[in-house]
Structure 1
Amino acid sequence: MRIRDAHDDDWDGIWPFLREIVAAGETYCWPADTSEENARAWWMTKPGGRVFVAVDEDGTVLGTAELHPNQPAAGSHVANAGFMVAPTAVGRGIGRALAVHVLDQAASDGYQAMQFNAVVETNAGAIALWQSLGFRILATVPAAFDSPSSGLVGLHIMHRMLEHTSA
């Protein structure tokens, strides 16, 4: 597996599993019926953002991550990111590899910290991953996410500082 910057032509490999994850409605605050056009714009073209893909030996996209400023201007020193792994690739370390890559890239790009604004509290795998990588839950907004399987559940705000290495 290799992680690299995404290219426009990677979208055809991202869209099928992104659509499936969004349609399930369990981990993202996107409309379940998000159109391909809107999904592509939201994932691939955030202002100041970058997109990465994890690909196998034959170029199949196994997962993707997007990195961008959490807020504009005075808040742009804090990064935010989103991660999706193809359901067929879950359990192979793709999410962790993408997370480590994005954290390293965010630090290299000069961000001082990373913040996640909406980690669904029932997404135990993601929470465990983020905590193992040094994120703390700062707060939980109660009943802020309407999960198809669990009803109203909280959204965690998670944060960690980033370490910088001198070039």
Structure 2
Amino acid sequence: MTGMQKERPFRFAVWLWLLTTAVLLASGSWLLKTELPEAENLKTEIQAITIDRLGEKNNMNKERIDDISISRGLIGWNVEISLNADKSFTMFSTKQQIWQDAIDILEPLSGFDQLNGISLSFILPVENSLHKSVMSFRLDKATRDQLIWSNVDPSILPDITYDYQEHPVLNN
């Protein structure tokens, strides 16, 4: 009798692990699948808005959109957009242009209810012509919903965004 009692918990544990593994594999496959039609449609719409608002190429003749990645979050979609920025006469005017470009993109993207987090990163050649991110930040849906975009001054972006980072070259 003691041998049967020991086997039953062991069998139960084995079946529990097998069932858990099967459930994780089944549910995890949709997380690994990055080519979801909804994500692809969203990516296409974001590309169209970006090109419509900022143009297909920057003023250094590089493709405006470096990368767009979309991931499913707990609440909606999160998007990370990397853009090649325009270079202006001075670095201060370049920074102001980047802020304005960010507003020009964020305004229409804020109308997408399925977007939760939007991260923007702007790339410029800095040291030895290496292209680096010179500004990046993210903005969540709750903050975007509170803004009246026609009244937003671009210079407040560092104050209203999360994880705002700026390369020192923009302060030269």
Calculate the TM-score normalised by the size of structure 1.
0.34
The higher relative CO (CA closer than 8 Å, separation ≥ 6) is in 1
Give the structure with the larger strand fraction. Answer: 1
Report the structure number with the largest CA radius of gyration. Answer: 2
Give the structure with the larger helix fraction. Answer: 2
